[in-house]
Structure formats: structure tokens, C-alpha cells
Amino acid sequence: MHKIFLVIKHEIITTLQRRSFWIMTFLFPAIIIFFNLGTQVIANSSFNQEDVQGILAGTSATPETIAYVDEAGIINHLPPSMSATTLQRFASEDKARAALEAGDYEYFFLIPADYVASGNLIVITKDFRPLNTPNENLLSFVLAYNLTDDEQTAVALLDPTPNIQQQALAPQTGNDQNNSLTFFVPFATMFIFFFLISMSSGFMLQSVTREKENRTVEILLLSLRPRELMLGKVLGLSVVALLQMVVWMGGSLLALNRSQAAFSSVSSYTLPPGFVIWAFLFFALGYLLYASLMGAIGALAPNAREGGQFTFFVLLPLLIPLWLNITFVEAPHGTLATALSLFPLTAPTAMMTRLATGGVPTWQILVSLGGLAITTYIFVVVAARFFRADTLLSGSSLKARRFLTELRRPA
Amino acid sequence: MRNFWLLARHEYRKLVSKRSFLVGTLGFPLIIMMVMAAGIFIAIRGDQNTPIGYVDNAGLINTAVVPQTDEDETLLPLRPFPNETAARQALTDQEIQVYFVIPADYRRTLQLDAYYWQDDPSSTVVSDFNAYLRANLASDYPASIRTRLVEGPDLVVRSADGSREFNSRNIFSFFIPFIAAFFFIFVVMSSSGYLLQVVTDEKENRTVEIMITTVSPGQLIGGKALGLLAVSLTQVVIWVLAGVVAVFIGSFFIEALRFISVPWSLLLVVIFFFVPAYAFIAGIMTAIGSAVTELTQAQQIAGILNLLFLLPFFFTALFLANPNSPILVFLTLFPTTSFITVMMRWGMSTVPLWQLALSWLILVGSAMLSVWVAARIFHTGMLRYGQSLSLKEALTAVRSRS
């Protein structure tokens, strides 16, 4: 027993002493958040489609003058509420091009003679950025206005449902469906759980292979049985993993709380009761499951490099919910999301995502947790079979077939 | 020079004959495709065909008006209700998935109420209902302009010099550079992982001591880097061919795929930028690999550096919104990001010639520097065992005359 504690202590101390651990714990999430949020802000500020309704109502600023050439002869007049200087007509394409060359305009619209039939609206621009054409909506509106001669219809055609008041007759939780956090929080939970489990189980692989590579394991096995070594490593690294989880989850919850205090719009977001407890349970079991798998690979692989080739396949089940994240956003309680959250290998990420969305029936959580616990138990027992003196000391290379032969051998 | 080719050939054959190469080349894209297909399948299937209900207090919707749709597209059915009580009952009985209430002053306010049971209406519901509303709003107008009113303009964007054109048909062509950039990142990631370990194998079994008697350090690294490059390119070529076949087959089913045109000018950019960009990365990775003995440590440093190469992908939204923003101009000139940035901007915009030229010169300069530094560091570190080069030692190695 004393020896296991020694292993636990050693694992905790060596992992915490590594600079890379602290970088991954603090710097990595910071970088991800910075790039995601930072670039989103930059992009959002440059994607600003003009608000036609606002311009007509006088609440939004009128854009700078828009140049156009009307070969179809559609635009005869502007809506009365629109400033006459909004549009500048050019008699021909050549004249408009001349103005473009002179630097008076950055771009101009060309309405071809067959506009009504073909629908082509041509933009000729110096700064070619096809997916972000300014004032496209405004010109569409002016065209529709001239075709219909009715301002209200023209606005409605542009977007018939600009503001829908949505109401659920049987709301799931107190969370506002229009709140951007309703989308963001489950998504973030999914990522946090994926990274936590994959990283902490990765430590297990590293720890086993490192000792194999530098042959420390040969000396260790003189005074300690292989299973004790495995147990000590799993438990020791679990402490480190929990620390990481406390930092990440605590940081996220704190950020959520703070942002709620700062912006009144986010105040309505509440995580379901007991979320932290469920998170802890799913994380602990998920960690044990994947750490024992990684440990098994570490025991069989001759070095970190060969072991690393298998990690992708081992972590694949955790990744699947990430790839299918659309389903979790669109239908968090649909068949697929439910199935993934009940299947033990995908449960840690899938169920936590659904829990963060809220409204998961308690029986599902319990079934999922029970299944996960049983599977984890089986995997730990199986992984322990791979932890034997002969596997730990052998340098033979890791092949898929070897898993089976090693598994079949008596313990 | 012969040794150089021998090394490259040996490295190539060794890696390609491994089973993991075959699994990676065929299995990896297969898994991704399967998961994506499953996702798409579910996303499509997820929308049930339950009708949309509505209560029309504005007298707007005429059930006889059917919106025009493409052949393979069907809208969700629409079901009228005389009042909200009836609609609510139908929603409770799950006969409809949502109902909209159109108030009498809808045309003035454009306000609508939507009632749903539990999951809020999907984007399909809203867009289908929009289609019905548009068709009805336009139904009073003559048939000649009706289609135009419903569909609105179809934007064609042309650059002032006429060299580039974007319309709703060739939209897929604009994503080819993105895909190409993605492939490049794959090549970088996969071969940089190997390049880090380029000498670990030989160091571990002490072959490097024998090899160094016949090959110069520069040839050793160069030959290995070339072999690895060939391996990655083999993989990419297989994938591109598979992609071309997939597009060709897909074009029978999806109309938009028929208008994909290969941007040949992009190929020119790739030819000019690829070799220096690859050499730059290969140099950096070999330098790290030979200075650091423990693989995990090297991988951590390389992981952070890889982020520098991946940087443009974080700005994807910016490429779409404003491809000529100062941030992207900076990324165009910065050597680690230049190749990918140039490719991605190529798709979304026109890159001024001076930026291309300057960026290429900076890249070539950095590539030469990195290869030179790598050879120096490798030279010093190649016969060291179990001891990393400190930063100071690495610097002296670079500065010293050989």
C-alpha cells in the first residue's frame, strides 16, 4: 500500500513540475479563447449589412452615396423617406468606370437590361471581396420598390420575418432560446470535456512509455508489482486531472457568472441543478476509462512514438460528438444525441453537452452513468491484464493483432 | 549528390511500405467522410415533415398560391387555422410543429408570433415560411415581375479589371484555395512530426555515426526532408484524385458542382510558394529535433510553432468579410503564415502584385536562413546522446565558423 502512495506522490509531483503542464492548463485555453473571440469580433465588425428598415425609419445612418448604372431603366424614384443623395445614377457603364478610376467610388452596381428576366445584379468593384458586398440589401430594396411601387411590400419581400417573437408552449428549462449562451455554453462544455479527458489520459500514456523508454521500469518492477504501478499512476494522474478540471470548469463558471453580472442579457442563463456534481462524476469515470486504455497502449508500445499512433483511434469515440456538434445544437434531445449520450464510450462528452443544454430526464443520466461505470470497470480490469512484467519489459512493436494475443493470455 | 537521392529514396520507400501509411491514407479520410455523411444525413432527416400552422389575421396568405421551388426541393406543408385556439390544439396534438400568428398590422410592423412545443423552430421552418410569405406578397403583381420580386437579385461580383468574377454558380470554385490550404497544412503537420524525429531513429541505433562518414549533414537532412515531402505529396495526390472523382460523380446529382472551374492561376502560386514554405518548416523542425533529445519536449515546442502556421485558419471569417484587411496583409508577409494566407486570399480577393513579390522574397529569405541554421545545429547536436543543446549552445553553433 505504501508503495502505491509513493507512485501516486511521484506522478503528481513530476507532472506538476513540468512547465508544459502549466502551459497547457492556462495558456492553451487562453489562446483558444483569444483567437476565437478576437477574430469573431473583427469579422463581425466588418460584416455589417445595412439595415433597410432602420434607414427608412430614420434610426440607422444612411450609407455613403451608392453609384449605379441602370440599363434596364427600372429605378425611377426613391421612397419618400429615403434621402435623394443615397443613390447616384450614371448614364453608362463607361462613365461609371471613369468615376471608379478617378477614385470617387470603390464600386458600382450595374443593372443589366435583362434584369427582370435573369435576375443578375452586377457589382463592379476595385476591392474584390465577393462574400461581403456592401449595400446589396439596399439596392435590392430600391429595385423591389420600383417594381412594386409599394414601400411596405418591398421591405417585406427583402425579409418577411425580421422579428419573430418565439414562445414555447412547453419550455424545457428557464433558458432563453434566443440567448447566444444557450448555444455557446453546451459547445464550450463539450470542448472542455474533450480536452480534459484526452489530455489527462495522454499523461498516462506519456508516463508509462517514458519509464519504458529510459528503462526505469526495470528497476521499478524489482520492488513493485505491475498492477500496483498502474494503480498508482492512474490515481496519481487523476489528482492532476482533477486539478486541471477545477481550473477549467471553475474558470468557465466564474466567467459565466461575471458576464452575467456585466451584461443583463446573459442573466437568464442557468445551468441545471447538480451540474457540477454530474460533471465531476462523468469526468472521473471518463478519465478512468480512457486513462486505463491509454495505459494499456503504453504498456504494449515500445516507445512514445508508436504508442502515439494509436491514440487517435482510442480517442475517436470522444471525438464523434465533437464532429456531430450540429445535432447537439439543433436537437439536443433527438435520437442521435440521446443514443450518443447513453453509449458509454461517447457518454462523457455527449451527456455533458446535453446536461449543459438542460432538460435531460434523470433516468437517462443515471442509465448513462451506470453504463459508463460498468464499462469503466471492465476496461480497467482489461487494461490491468496488459500491465504485466513481460509486456512492460519487452520492446516488441505495437500491432493491432498483439492486443488480441495479449488479451487471451492468462493473467 | 547520389547519396542525397539514395537517402530520399530510402526514406520514401521505408514510410510508404509501412502499413500505417496505407491505413492513414485510406482510413483517415474515410472516417471523416463517414462521420460527415452521417451528420448530413441526420441533419436532413432531423427535420420532420410535420406541417407549419398559421393564423392569418392580415388576410395575407392565399392557400392557392404555391411558391416556385427547384425540382428536388419541397417545402414543408402549410396548414391554415381560423383562430389561435384551434392552432394551439393542433400543436398540442403534435399535428403541426409550429404555428405563426400574423397580426392584422403585419404589413406595417412585420412582427410575427411563433408558437412551438419544446424545441424552437429550425432554420428550415423559418425559411420555408418566408418562401410562402414572399410568394403571397408578390402574388398581386404581374407574372412577368413576380419571380424577380420573390427571388430578388442574383449578385454577380466582378473585379474592376475584369479578371475575377463571382456568382452564385461558381461559388464552389472559391473554396478550392481553402481546401488547398488545408491540404498544405496537412502536409506540414504530418511531415513536421516526422521531421522532428528525422534523426532520432538513426541516433537511437547509432546508425548516424556510420552514415556521417559518407554523407554530409546537409545531404542527410535534405535527403530525408525530400523523401518525407514525397510521402506527403503521394498522400495528397491520392486524396485530390479521390476528391476529383467524388466531385465528378457528385456533379451528376448536385448542379452547383458542375460549374467548378480549376483556378489555374492558383497553381502558379502553389508552384512558387510551396518549395520555400516547405523548406522553411523542414528547417525549423529539424533544428528543434536535433537540439532537443526528448521527443515529447520537441513535440511541445513544435506544437506551439504549428500554431503559428495555423494562424490564418483562425481568421477564416475575416477572409470572407474583408480579405484585404491590414491583419491579413501582415499575415501575407509573415513567413510562417504567408503561403496559406496568399492561397486563402487568392480565393476571396485579388492580391496586389507587390505584396505577392515581397511575401515571396521574405519567405525565400527565411527558408534559406532556417535551412542554414538547421544544418548548423544538426552538425553540433548529431553526435550528442542524452543531452539537449541549450539555447546558448545552439546560438554558438549557429555563429561559429565551420
Give the nearest partner residue to A143 out of B153, B200, B320, using CB atoms: B153
Residue B44 reports pLDDT greater than 70: no
Closest approach of chain A CAs to the CA of B28, in angstroms?
A: 10
Give the nearest partner residue to A116 out of B32, B137, B145, using CB atoms: B145
Contact across the interface for A327 and B350, Cβ inside 8 Å? no
Closest chain B residue to A141 measured between Cα atoms? B152
pLDDT single digits (tens) B6-35: 888 988 898 888 877 787 778 767 776 776
Closest approach of chain B CAs to the CA of A181, in angstroms?
A: 15
CB pairs under 8 A between A and B: 221
Give the nearest partner residue to A130 out of B126, B157, B324, using CB atoms: B157
Q: Which of A165-174, B132-141, B239-248, B384-393 has the highest mean pLDDT?
A: B132-141
Region B153-159 average pLDDT: 85
Region A390-405 average pLDDT: 76
pLDDT single digits (tens) B245-276: 877 777 776 666 666 666 677 788 888 888 88
> What's the mean pLDDT when you consider all of chain B?
80
Give the nearest partner residue to B318 out of A39, A119, A139, using CB atoms: A39
Per cent of chain A over pLDDT 90 is: 9
Closest approach of chain A CAs to the CA of B95, in angstroms?
A: 14
Instruction: Give the residue extent of every domain in chain B.
Output: 52-153, 160-232+260-399
pLDDT at site B334: 92
Closest chain A residue to B32 measured between Cα atoms? A323
Q: Which of A214-228, B196-210, B303-317 has the highest mean pLDDT?
A: A214-228
Q: Which CATH number applies to A62-158: 3.30.750, 1.20.120, 3.40.190, 1.10.287?
A: 3.40.190
- Domain B52-153 indexed as CATH 3.30.1460: no
pLDDT at site A375: 93
Closest chain B residue to A111 measured between Cα atoms? B153
Closest chain A residue to B115 measured between Cα atoms? A167
Give the nearest partner residue to B46 out of A153, A210, A330, using CB atoms: A330
Query: Does the predicted model carry a pTM greater than 0.80?
Result: no
Residue A329 reports pLDDT greater than 90: no
pLDDT single digits (tens) A102-144: 888 888 899 988 888 888 888 888 877 777 777 888 888 888 8
Three-class HEC string of chain B: CHHHHHHHHHHHHHHHCCHHHHHHHHHHHHHHHHHHHHHHHHHHHHCCCCCEEEEECCCCCCCCCCCCCCCCCCCCCEEEECCHHHHHHHHHCCCCCEEEEECCCHHHHCEEEEEECCCCCCHHHHHHHHHHHHHHHHCCCCHHHHHHHHHCCEEEEEECCCCCEECCCCHHHHHHHHHHHHHHHHHHHHHHHHHHCCCHHHHHCCHHHHHHHHCCHHHHHHHHHHHHHHHHHHHHHHHHHHHHHHHHHHCCCCHHHHHCCCCHHHHHHHHHHHHHHHHHHHHHHHHHHHHCCCHHHHHHHHHHHHHHHHHHHHCHHHHHHCCCCHHHHHHHHCHHHHHHHHHHHHHHCCCCHHHHHHHHHHHHHHHHHHHHHHHHHHHHHCCCCCCCCCHHHHHHHHHCCC
Contact across the interface for A166 and B145, Cβ inside 8 Å? no
ipTM exceeding 0.90? no
| Mutation target among B158, B168, B198 for the A interface, most CBs of A within 10 A | B158
A183 vs A318, which has greater pLDDT? A318
Closest approach of chain A CAs to the CA of B100, in angstroms?
A: 9
Residue B358 reports pLDDT greater than 90: yes
Closest approach of chain B CAs to the CA of A2, in angstroms?
A: 30
Q: Is residue A263 very low, low, confident or very high in pLDDT (cuts 50, 70, 90)?
A: low
- Of the listed ranges A224-238, B365-379, B388-402, the least confidently predicted one is B388-402
Instruction: Give the residue extent of every domain in chain A.
Output: 2-29+179-408, 62-158
pLDDT single digits (tens) B131-150: 888 888 888 888 888 888 88
> What's the mean pLDDT when you consider all of chain A?
81
pLDDT single digits (tens) A73-85: 888 888 887 777 7
B241 vs A41, which has greater pLDDT? B241
Region B182-211 average pLDDT: 76
Residues of B in contact with A161 (CB under 8 A): 110, 112, 126, 129-130, 133
